[in-house]
Each structure stands twice: as structure tokens, then as C-alpha cells.
Amino acid sequence: MKEKCRQAVSRLTPFLDEALPAEERAEVARHLDACPPCRQSAAKEEGGKTVLRERAAHLPTEPLPPGLRTRCAAIAERARRRALRSR
Amino acid sequence: MIRRLPRGPSGPVTTGADAFADEALTLLEPLYATALRLTRHRADAEDLVQDTYVKAFRFSERFVPGTNLKAWLYTILHNTWRNRRRDTARDTVDVDSEVVEAAASQPGGPEELDTPERILLRETLDADLQAALDALPAAYREAVWLRDVEEFAYAEIAEMLGVPMGTVMSRISRGRRLLFDALSGGMDSATGVAHHASRVSEVGSA
């Protein structure tokens, strides 16, 4: 992989997340315009990102095991009593 | 970073602690989901969550009010998980992580894919997405999930995973591309490797 490609690929994530300073962003954009393989990497990354962001909410979530909330609340309560005692 | 809550007879300690406890308990569902993602076993996930709460309440004075409690709890949960894994390191397989890295960083094939995300969105079934996520190496899955689903900042993820920010970004990048490869037809070589390496404890940290 060419050095320029390596540099561009290492900044793909903040580039796609719009987290790069304007100058660096323009630099990566210019490279992508000129380099089909890197453009393809960017397209793949964007594809994976988009699917996950749009679809994750549809994935089934496992219900909390019975009793877990009660047990965690008890942990909180014990901590509260300890704090009161130590005052 | 350590800030003590003010102490006094009128009871700001109790108020602060109660607010902390209330908010911490509202985060039980996402914490359990994260624990499940990491452990892949219900009983282990439950254990991990309880451990996390025990530690969180024991060290609650270290939490800086006004900062992100969810990120703070996630950090405790991930640290606890890493420590456990270290304790059971004999169970993990030594995997050639370079193979994973190389497979993940390959540019795509010769054909140009136009609007890949649109094709994927149209054609991806929830079950496929779940399977593709499950097949990702754990380090990539977690980085991608924390960024794209939980929407944490890179710096917060770096803190949770105990790796530099550059590593976080490269894991996100590779994770997203592996996900794309897995969903866009085909269990190609990259995801084959990913599947194989799903028990890697550390990939690409440097």
C-alpha cells in the first residue's frame, strides 16, 4: 500500500464521522477522488457504519434476568447505608 | 479527577448518593446488553453487571458529577471484564492477529460498488446483521458497537477499552468494513478469518 493510501485509510473513520479538521478532511477527500481502491474502502466502511446505525435498534434485546434489578438495587442500598454510617 | 461530595449535617451526601444510585440503576439494561455482548453467556453477564455495580458504588466518590455516568460505568464494566479474561488467559487461543489485520485492511475487489449502503439497507435482514456482528472479532465488534450504536466519543471508547485512540479508530474502521463484507454477499476470506479469530482477546493494539 502506498504511503498516501496508508495515510488516507488511517483517517477514514474520523473522515466519515466528520471529525476531521477542515484541512485534513479536504486532503482525504482529494485522495479518495484520485484513488479508486481507497474510495472503495471508504464506501465499505460507510456501508458498514450506515447499516449498523440504521438497523441496530431493530435487533432483539435480551430481557434482564429476573432478580438482577433487585440485586443491583440492594447493592445501591447497602452503599447508601454505609455512606450514612460513615458520616 | 477525584472529587469528594460535600459533607454536612443537612445531608448533601445522601442526596448526591441517591441521585447517583437512581441514575446508575436506569442504566441497567444497556449495561447488561454490553455484558452479554462481551461474555456471550447470560450467567456470566449477570455476574459481570453485579460486579460492576459493586465497584461503582464502592468508588462512587470518584465519579465527577456532571460528567457522563454511562461512560464511567461502561469503563468499569470493560475493565472488570478485561481483568477476568486476564485471569483465565489460558483459555484463549493464540491467534495470528496479523492475518486478521491484513484481511480487514485489504481494499475491495475490482468491481465498483455504487451506493453500497443503500443496497445493504434494503437487503440486510436483522438475523444477518446479528450473525455478521457475532462473527466479528470481539475487539472490532465492541469498538464498532460503542461508536455506532452507543455513540460514544473516540476518547471515551479509548478509556473503556484501555487502548490508544488511534487503535480505537482502526478497530472501528476495520470492524465496519468487515461488517460490510459479511453482509454484502458473501462470507469471503476476510470474514472467514474473522470467524476463526473470534476469541482473540487483543487485536491491533499498539
**What are the DSSP calls for B46-71, one per residue?**
HHHHHHHHHHHHHTGGGS-TTS-HHH
In this structure, what are the phi and psi dihedrals at residue B45, rounded to the nearest 5 degrees?
-65, -40
CATH class of B12-90: mainly alpha
> According to the model, what pLDDT value does residue B119 have?
63
Contacts of B29 in chain A (CB under 8 A): 61, 64
Q: What is the 3-state secondary structure (H, E, C) of B131-180?
A: HHHHHCCHHHHHHHHHHHHCCCCHHHHHHHHCCCHHHHHHHHHHHHHHHH
Q: Per residue in B155-196, pLDDT tens? A: 999 999 999 999 999 999 999 999 999 998 754 444 333 333
Domain boundaries, chain B: 12-90, 94-196
Helix (H), strand (E) at residue B99: helix B97-105
Name residues whose C-beta falls within 8 Å of residue B58's C-beta, 6 or more positions apart in sequence: A79
Nearest CA to B137 out of B41, B85, B202, B92 is that of B202
**What percentage of chain B exceeds 90 in pLDDT?**
53
ipTM for this model: 0.91
Q: Is B13 on the interface with A (CB under 8 A)?
A: yes
Contacts of B147 in chain A (CB under 8 A): 17
Instruction: Identify the architecture of domain A3-85 in CATH.
Output: Orthogonal Bundle (1.10)
Q: What is the DSSP-derived secondary structure letter of residue B199?
A: T
Topology of domain B94-196, CATH: Arc Repressor Mutant, subunit A (1.10.10)
> According to the model, what pLDDT value does residue B87 have?
80
Q: Is A10 on the interface with B (CB under 8 A)?
A: yes
Decide if B51 contacts A71 (C-beta within 8 A): no
